Amino acid sequence: MRVLLTGAAGFIGSQVRRVLANAGHEVVAVDLMLAAAHGPAAPPPVGVERVDVRNPAALDDRLTGIDVVCHQAAVVGAGVSAQDAPAYASHNDLGTAVLLAAMSRAGCRRMVLASSMVVYGEGCYRAADSTSRVPAPRSRDELERGFFEHRDLHSGEPLGWAPVGEDTPVRPRSLYAASKVAQEHYAAAWATATDSAVTALRYHNVYGDDMPRDTPYSGVAALFRSALAAGVPPQVFEDGGQMRDFVHVRDVAAANLAAVERPLPGFVALNIASGQPISIGAVATLLAAAHLGPAPVITGKFRPGDVRHVVASPDRARELLDFTAAIGPEPGLTEFARAPLRAVGGAGAPTW
């Protein structure tokens, strides 16, 4: 197949490019080379063209004969301040809208969209009697008193987590999450209006080789790994019991290949996850041990916007894409503890 891959120079996009090419697909690889992700004035890698997905003419030139667009280009991270909102809206949402319009002009009717588990906001919770609960965000007062688990409104007992399925309502809590929800909504509406197909891959916590070093926009894996590289103990917030699903970047690339090769009708969202939940404390301990670095510190500090648990149900991706992650968190994080990181040259806030 002939595939237009956006964000082809990024942490995830470069792995997607490799697996698509290895599988025999013809890849038209583009990337804007945003300074926030690549450092100032970085040239694109060989075989990748510098293209802004918000530029309709540049897209028209590259969409001829394309069977499917694999759209990885995005400004990432949770957002540091309100000043980041225009960058998320511009690159992620306007970019996706311009791309979808260009695809229709070119007669291209399939997109694989990089989405994120952040669209869910909080994960799913269950009371002791197994009934589901949708807790309100934790209050600063509760967090300051060290009550990190959500509590049942009636009994006051801590709530347990439950796997998040794709039909869970979206509740974006950050600027980035809002932009990912909007991307999904534009893509879903486009699929309906033009009788086209979009597979949205909701990545859980991605890690692996060539992950960008820590910046104020980084997720926890990059922060822990960068701390260890600097000989500093990873700082674990809350009590370390927060549950997540860490999925290796090579599995994320494999999921993209599966989605490119297996058309699904209409708009379909799929969790892309390892299927083996792990606590943040266990991630820190594993990485520190494998790096032979200082043991993590459980700080009891907290970030008011953080969600307590988000654990994926990987069932739908297995059923519809035949995708099962090959790399569990233990071997994957052990490898990541020594893997190279990507220098981002003092990356600042994304510009728009």
Catalytic residues: 176
Q: Which residue is nearest to ligand UD1 (CB)?
A: 219
Which of 6, 15, 96, 116 binds ligand UD1 (CB under 6 A)? It is 116
Q: Does 118 bind ligand UD1 (CB under 6 A)?
A: yes
Q: Closest Cα partner for 185 from 103, 92, 255?
A: 92
Q: Does 78 bind ligand UD1 (CB under 6 A)?
A: yes
Q: Does 307 bind ligand UD1 (CB under 6 A)?
A: yes
Only segment of 9-17, 28-36, 90-98, 202-210 that touches ligand UD1 (CB under 6 A): 202-210
Only segment of 99-107, 115-123, 164-172, 184-192 that touches ligand UD1 (CB under 6 A): 115-123
Terminal-to-terminal C-alpha distance of the chain: 32
The distance of closest approach from Cβ of residue 183 to ligand UD1 in the complex, given in angstroms and rounded to an integer, is 12
CA distance linking residue 343 with residue 62, whole number of Å: 30
Query: Smaller CB distance to ligand UD1: residue 179 or 196?
Result: 179
Query: Smaller CB distance to ligand UD1: residue 62 or 308?
Result: 308
Query: Smaller CB distance to ligand UD1: residue 111 or 236?
Result: 236
Q: Does 117 bind ligand UD1 (CB under 6 A)?
A: yes
Query: Smaller CB distance to ligand UD1: residue 106 or 114?
Result: 114
CA distance linking residue 159 with residue 232, whole number of Å: 33
Query: Smaller CB distance to ligand UD1: residue 196 or 205?
Result: 205
Segment 266 to 295, residues that bind ligand UD1, using CB under 6 A: 280
Binding stretches for ligand UD1 (CB under 6 A): 76-78, 116-118, 176, 203-206, 218-220, 223, 235-238, 242, 244, 280, 303, 306-307
